[in-house]
Amino acid sequence: MQSCARLTKRILSAIVAALIALLFSIAGAGASDVNPDMLPMFGQPKITRPENLQKVDDAFIRDNTFRYKSRQAASNAFAAQGWGAVRTKQLDVAMLRFNQAWLLNPKNYSAFWGFGAVLSDQGRLGEAIEQLETARELIDDPAQRSALLTDLGAVHSEYAASLPAERQLERAQRFVLANSRFSESLENDPSFAPGWREWAISLYQQERYAEAWLRVKRARELRAEPFPPEFIDKLSAKMAEPK
């Protein structure tokens, strides 16, 4: 009987060891299955680019520099394709195109803006903010600055609103950043209607209803995209529209 018990224990131990090994194997496989094409900057620097793909990248840069006459022009072309894919919700295609734009010009703000847009659409708001803040540091086109800053403010605000009650301090800090980015956007261009619209929505989330109504009024004066009816209904329920 004792011999059978010992044998049973050994069998059980072997089964447990096999299960543990299987779990580690699955976890390892999951990590290796991550497609770097679907990560900003092909996952670099965390994921080292293999030598064979570095050669492919070099050929891609060479061919498209020749095709578009310069690396900057090529980078802009691929970024534009990325934005087209964002609009049609082809997020995998968009991420690949923004990666190719970044490969051609690692300082192209539009590539980082695109990374942020894709990550935001995927609900990865913290990661999106990192990319958008990088775009803010790199942007060299004054005509696009207000739009970028408005997007950044909106994502900061959405992230703040998603935080649970126990992270109240971080929530407040995120809203401060959102207000800062909206203010910066409208200092850059006071007539940028989407900035007023998005700031109104953010201020509602902050429970600052009187200030939200002021932004609603200004957005309407500038003929911004109409607010969703449910937003105006919710704001009106909290505070009647000032006359």
Quick one: average pLDDT of 196-209? 98
pLDDT in tens, 104-128: 999 999 999 999 999 999 999 999 9
pLDDT class of 218 with cuts at 50, 70, 90: very high
132 by Cβ neighbours in 10 Å (0-12 / 13-18 / 19+) ranks as buried
Contact yes or no for 46/88 (Cβ under 8 A): no
pLDDT in tens, 25-81: 444 444 446 788 899 999 999 999 999 999 999 999 999 999 999 999 999 999 999
Q: What is the pLDDT of residue 34?
A: 75
Give the side-chain half-sphere CA count within 13 A for 28.
6
Long-range pairs of 172-176 with CB within 8 A, sequence gap ≥ 24: 175/202, 175/205, 175/206
Contact yes or no for 102/92 (Cβ under 8 A): no
Helices 109-121 and 71-87 pack at an angle, to 10 degrees, of: 20
Domain 141-243 in CATH 3.30.70: no
Q: What is the pLDDT of residue 175?
A: 98
Residue 181, amino acid: R
Q: Report how far residue 146's alpha carbon sits from residue 47's, in angstroms, rounded to the nearest whole number.
A: 33
Contact yes or no for 49/57 (Cβ under 8 A): yes
- Give the closest residue to 104 by CA, choosing from 133, 124, 75, 125: 75
Q: What is the pLDDT of residue 33?
A: 67
pLDDT class of 243 with cuts at 50, 70, 90: confident
Q: What is the pLDDT of residue 13?
A: 46
pLDDT in tens, 150-181: 999 999 999 999 999 899 999 999 999 999 99
Q: Helices (H), strands (E): how many in the chain?
A: 11, 0
Q: What is the pLDDT of residue 17?
A: 43
Sign of the dihedral defined by the CA atoms of residues 11, 14, 20, 23, in that order: negative
Secondary structure of residue 50 in the 3-state scheme: coil
Domain 40-138 in CATH 1.25.40.10: yes
Instruction: Tell me the backbone φ, ψ of residue 183, rounded to 5 degrees.
Output: -60, -45
Q: Report how far residue 237's alpha carbon sits from residue 243's, in angstroms, rounded to the nearest whole number.
A: 15
Residue 194 vs residues 121, 201, 220: alpha-carbon distances, Å: 18, 11, 10
Q: Between the CA atoms of 146, 80, 37 and 66, what dihedral angle is there, to the nearest 10 degrees?
A: -130
